[in-house]
């Protein structure tokens, strides 16, 4: 199964979405982007204040991006939100790989709670993630 389809299944499962489309940045729940300080330092903003007003420097501005991907994925996983991530940061933070890792973590539950997958797709995922076929005991 293609990674794009896995991420779509994950989005449906969590009722969340990470987007890099700038048009979505004004209507999403969270936004993550790169900004420059007055003296030219690069900082990263991750906030639910999409209009940019009232951003907390202590809590929402990051000098390092080392834990930024984990914060984005935590919001995605636990808060059912649409998150805009600047395309450069999406690639730089490997958000796609984090989402695919989350898919692998939840693949059993996704398979159990999804009616849109064909039998072939289910079999393919079970083989790929080495999930044992359930056998009924009679």
Quote the mean pLDDT of the chain.
92
What's residue 20's pLDDT?
96
Portion of the chain with pLDDT greater than 70, in percent: 96
What's residue 53's pLDDT?
85
- pLDDT of 25 > 70? The answer is yes
Starting at the edge strand found earlier in the chain, the sheet holding 17-19 runs 17-19, 82-85, 30-36, 42-47, 61-62
| φ and ψ of 43, to 5 deg | -130, 165
Query: What's the whole-number mean pLDDT along residues 69-98?
Result: 97
Query: What's the whole-number mean pLDDT along residues 60-87?
Result: 95
- pLDDT of 134 > 90? The answer is no
Angle at CA 89, nearest 5°, toward 102 and 78? 35
Is-above-0.85 flag for pTM? Answer: yes
What's residue 136's pLDDT?
55
Query: In 3-state terms, what secondary structure has residue 92?
Result: helix
- pLDDT of 48 > 80? The answer is yes
The token duo for 88 is 């450069």
Query: What's the whole-number mean pLDDT along residues 121-125?
Result: 93
């Amino acid at each position: 199964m293609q990674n794009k389809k896995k991420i779509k299944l994950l989005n449906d499962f969590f009722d969340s979405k990470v987007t890099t489309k700038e048009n979505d940045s004004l209507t999403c729940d969270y936004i993550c982007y790169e900004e420059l300080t007055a003296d030219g330092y690069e900082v990263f903003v991750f906030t639910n204040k999409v209009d940019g007003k009232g951003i907390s420097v202590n809590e929402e501005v990051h000098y390092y991006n080392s834990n930024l991907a984990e914060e984005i994925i935590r919001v995605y996983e636990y808060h059912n939100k649409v998150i805009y991530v600047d395309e450069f940061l999406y690639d730089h933070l490997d958000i796609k790989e984090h989402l695919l890792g989350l898919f692998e973590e939840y693949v059993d539950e996704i398979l159990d709670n999804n009616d849109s997958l064909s039998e072939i797709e289910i079999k393919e995922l079970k083989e790929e993630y080495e999930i044992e076929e359930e056998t009924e005991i009679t």
